[in-house]
Structure 1
Amino acid sequence: MKETVVKNPLGAEPIDSLLKKFAVPSIIAMLVSALYNIVDQFFIGRSVGELGNAATNIAFPLSISCIAIALMFGIGGASAFNLAMGRREKEEAAHYIGNSIMMIVICGTALCLITQLFLEPLLRFFGSPDNVLGYAKTYTRITSLGFPFLILAAGGGHLIRADGNPRFAMVCNLAGAVVNTVLDAVFVFGFHWGMAGAAAATIIGQMLSGLMAIHYLRHCRTVELTKEHLKIKWQYVKRILSLGAAPCTNQIAMMVVQIVLNKSLTYYGALSIYGEAIPLACAGIIMKVNQVFFSFPIGISQGLQPIVSFNYGAENYTRVKKAYLKAITYGFAIAVFAFLMFQLLPRQIISIFGDGSAEYYQFAVSYFRIFLLFTFLNFMQPITSNFFTAIGKPTKGMFLSLTRQIIFLLPLIVVLPMLIGIDGILYAGPIADFMAGLTAIVMAVRELKMSKYLKVLE
């Protein structure tokens, strides 16, 4: 066995211990990220009401854009870094970290400026009805100022985990979330600032998390960053982009689907008993609740990444296979629990975010039970997609990241409502989830049947 594998914990410690060490902080970090949206939704729902909840749903594609950039350069940089460290190419590894940081800063600043300059056209494009637009403009104009820090915190967290310190990555996100929650209560309930108060609390929390991430990355554990490593060079950026494309594409696909979904909910909602705002408000809340569930499989996949990348780079395929199978087992258990919650307690969950009419509850309960029917399969796609990216097969990872959102869900939410109205949107979800889960299973089985994985597991 290679000397590096013996000395590096990623190649020597038991898989269970490593997966818990890296996945648990990643899950907590993802939960904290989801908490930002959930907390805003709670305070806005309790103070502003349905129109405020609808406004946050309209602004949600921009938050997804931030996460897409963070995953592109965070997971891409982390995968390239760990693969290089597994090959004992320490100098190359440092360049991947430095180039990732610089690209995160540049892209985050650019997204902030674009949003500020084209705010109203963007919100209308995202599907905002007239009675929601004012709330959405107030909220988004403020939150967009925090985009660079949000991307730094999310993308930097992946780089920090790759450097072997998942706990600090978790603390970065947790600190920002705690500040956001406290300030939400003060600004919204105490000062009665409404949408502006929730937005201000959000960006203050994001700034804290982003600055903490930058502070850590200036003093990495395993490599020493210099100004030379921060110089953008195409050879490194190209590799980062190729490895980060799959998780980024998945987020972009989510954004595209979210925009089409918003427009469909508004259009077909107006033709139904629910009207324009109720479907938008319900879908926004439920998607963010679903994000809480997705924090677990995504967190598991992120914790899996450094383990798989290092051991694949070190040609220790036995540990690669074992780590993937462990991750799948944990993902399945969590997905079954989430499925039971969504099927058995939908009204109780939606009631947390404020009161509504009978039609509001009717649509929300149906959305939970029908749209999220195949939640118990939804762990396969994110874990398997990140697995392929982590082993240096980004094309397969990208394809898998597109299956649920673009290949299956997008056509269904366009076509089915034409046939059966707004109910078509509800039934699009389980069909897409089933097809995406099945595709991930087939691709994973084919990969693990390759001869290099067929040694007896440790």
Structure 2
Amino acid sequence: MQKLNLLEEPVQKLFIKYLMPSISATLVTSIYILADTLMIGRGVGPVGIAALNLLLPLFSLFFGTGMLFGVGGGVLLSISKGRRDEQAAKEYFTVALWLAVAFAVFYIAGGHLLFKPVTEFLGRNDTMGNYVDEYGRVLVTGAPVFLFSAFLQAFVRNDRAPKVSMVAVVSGGVTNVVLDYIFIFPMKMGMAGAAIASVIGSLLTVGILLTHLTSPDNTLKVVARPGWKKAWEVVVNGFASFLLEMCNGVVTFLFNRQLLVYVGDLGVVVYGIISNSALIVASISNGISQAVQPILATNYGAGRKSRLKETRHMGEMAVTISGILFTGIGLLLPALVTAAFVKPTAEILAMSVPAVRIYFLSFFAMGFNILYGTYFQSVMKPGYSLFICMMRGMVINGILVFLLPIAFGVTGIWSVMPVTEFVTLIICRFLLAGQNKKLPSST
């Protein structure tokens, strides 16, 4: 298979080649949680969805750590290749790999030792306690698999093999959906069955991704003395990706706590529906961003300023279309969105219909914010990317989730994300205007 030439082939052609594999990879990853939610909602009930929603921050932690080292090292690998420095590229892969191994061991050990206090902190109660135990114990056991799924996806994509990444995650996702149904319905394994299906699906993804390391096109090599100061560079450059993934967990945690205070378990059920919808939209936005990332990083390393701007504009067009589509679905079909996850009662619909309409307004700005975070990461401005993630993932919504409900009740909670995303978008445009003046000259 001929490898893509990221410095010479037309940007539009490269973007199209990366787009579908990247979206497929990120979207199918979200299907692991989405399939669990759909099957649990139908096979276990609303309390099962509430329990799953409380555990989502742990999944975000495991997957986000894989992104931390995978994207952090992958961007630096692509920049090194753009500069024709193959030794540095190998060193970045090596240190990122060992960091991933160390954290995988830590999560599986610490996760089981601290399982009860961690899940109590996340908000478990007597109603959902057994469901949390059933799903959570399996989830923690599979932590290394989830971590390496994200880690290898990033490196294989940056090694110019996006189709391998797509095949891996699609295969794992389909397997997860099929096993979800078998384990929950015919075999009556409940929450544990859903979690086991997710682990097996991710394990298949990792297995397929590992085949790239034995292919003739593979350039991901481990070296004996990688230069450990590069580990800090990997962490700094990848921290925004980690935070972006963790934003999902932080937002879920904050919303769950506030909803339990204002409306009880029903609010958590409705938010479980909304957060899973948001996961799909975020996955597509992430896919668009990951499609431009290797092109941006390689051309930045080679000083190709005009190709950087052209690549970013392609991403902006894609997230605009995505944002209009999903915002429109929320405004026009809120009851249908609800019915996709649970058999809605009148009580659930009364809360979910206005909640979906308000919350889905955030999807128009979300794609731009994710894209710009990836852009700054790819042009060696990880501080800007980190700032964007902090604003939209912790700072703005962390303040608003406590302030808006005081004035507007539960409606204020649903309004937090639209306000957060649009304020962040304004910040992004200011940062972008300043960065355009500092890009390297074209060569």
TM over 0.5: yes
Aligned to 1:214: 210
Aligned to 2:434: 446
Aligned to 2:69: 73
Note the residue ranges of structure 1 that are not aligned, 5 or more in a row: 1-6, 270-275
Counterparts of 1:35-434 in structure 2, within 5 Å, are 35-219=31-215, 221-223=217-219, 225-226=221-222, 228=224, 233-269=227-263, 276-434=264-422
Aligned to 1:4: none
Give distance in 2, aligned partners of 1:245 and 1:450.
23
- The one-letter amino acid paired with 2:158 is A
1:81/1:224 Cα in 2 relative to 1: closer, same or farther (>3 Å)? closer
Shift of 1:104: 1.6
Most deviating of 108-117 and 69-78 = 108-117
1:218/1:245 Cα in 2 relative to 1: closer, same or farther (>3 Å)? farther
Shift of 1:251: 2.5
Contact 1:404 1:436 in 2 (8 A): yes
Q: Which SS does the other structure have where 1:373 is aligned? A: helix
Give distance in 2, aligned partners of 1:163 and 1:142.
32
Most deviating of 291-300 and 313-322 = 291-300
Give distance in 1, aligned partners of 2:181 and 2:302.
49
Shift of 1:224: 5.6
Most deviating of 251-260 and 408-417 = 251-260
Deviations 1:174-207, CA, capped at 9 Å, x for gaps: 1111111111111111111111111111111111
Most deviating of 250-259 and 427-436 = 250-259
1:180/1:446 Cα in 2 relative to 1: closer, same or farther (>3 Å)? same
Give distance in 2, aligned partners of 1:155 and 1:70.
4
Aligned length: 441
Contact 1:257 1:405 in 2 (8 A): yes
Contact 1:149 1:206 in 2 (8 A): yes
Shift of 1:87: 0.8
1:451/1:161 Cα in 2 relative to 1: closer, same or farther (>3 Å)? closer
Shift of 1:95: 1.3
Contact 1:187 1:193 in 2 (8 A): yes
Q: Percent identity?
A: 27
Give distance in 1, aligned partners of 2:220 and 2:266.
53
Give distance in 2, aligned partners of 1:61 and 1:224.
31
Contact 2:68 2:242 in 1 (8 A): yes
Contact 1:250 1:401 in 2 (8 A): yes
1:354/1:442 Cα in 2 relative to 1: closer, same or farther (>3 Å)? same
Give distance in 2, aligned partners of 1:291 and 1:101.
27
Deviations 1:137-165, CA, capped at 9 Å, x for gaps: 11110122111111111111010011010
Shift of 1:237: 0.8
Q: Which SS does the other structure have where 2:341 is aligned? A: coil
* RMSD, matched Cα: 1.9
Give distance in 2, aligned partners of 1:232 and 1:66.
25
- The one-letter amino acid paired with 2:212 is Y
Aligned to 1:272: none
Contact 2:74 2:93 in 1 (8 A): yes
Shift of 1:23: 2.3
Note the residue ranges of structure 2 that are not aligned, 5 or more in a row: none
Contact 1:79 1:390 in 2 (8 A): yes
1:342/1:224 Cα in 2 relative to 1: closer, same or farther (>3 Å)? closer
Q: Which SS does the other structure have where 2:231 is aligned? A: helix
- The one-letter amino acid paired with 1:94 is K
Deviations 1:22-56, CA, capped at 9 Å, x for gaps: 22211100110111111111110001111001011
Contact 2:159 2:220 in 1 (8 A): no
Shift of 1:285: 2.0
Most deviating of 368-377 and 194-203 = 368-377
Shift of 1:335: 0.8
Contact 2:91 2:223 in 1 (8 A): no
Give distance in 2, aligned partners of 1:97 and 1:295.
25
Deviations 1:305-349, CA, capped at 9 Å, x for gaps: 111111111011110111011111111111111110111111111
Deviations 1:239-293, CA, capped at 9 Å, x for gaps: 1111101111222333223222211111111xxxxxx221111111211111111
Q: Which SS does the other structure have where 1:10 is aligned? A: coil
Contact 2:22 2:291 in 1 (8 A): yes
Shift of 1:214: 2.8
Contact 2:303 2:440 in 1 (8 A): no
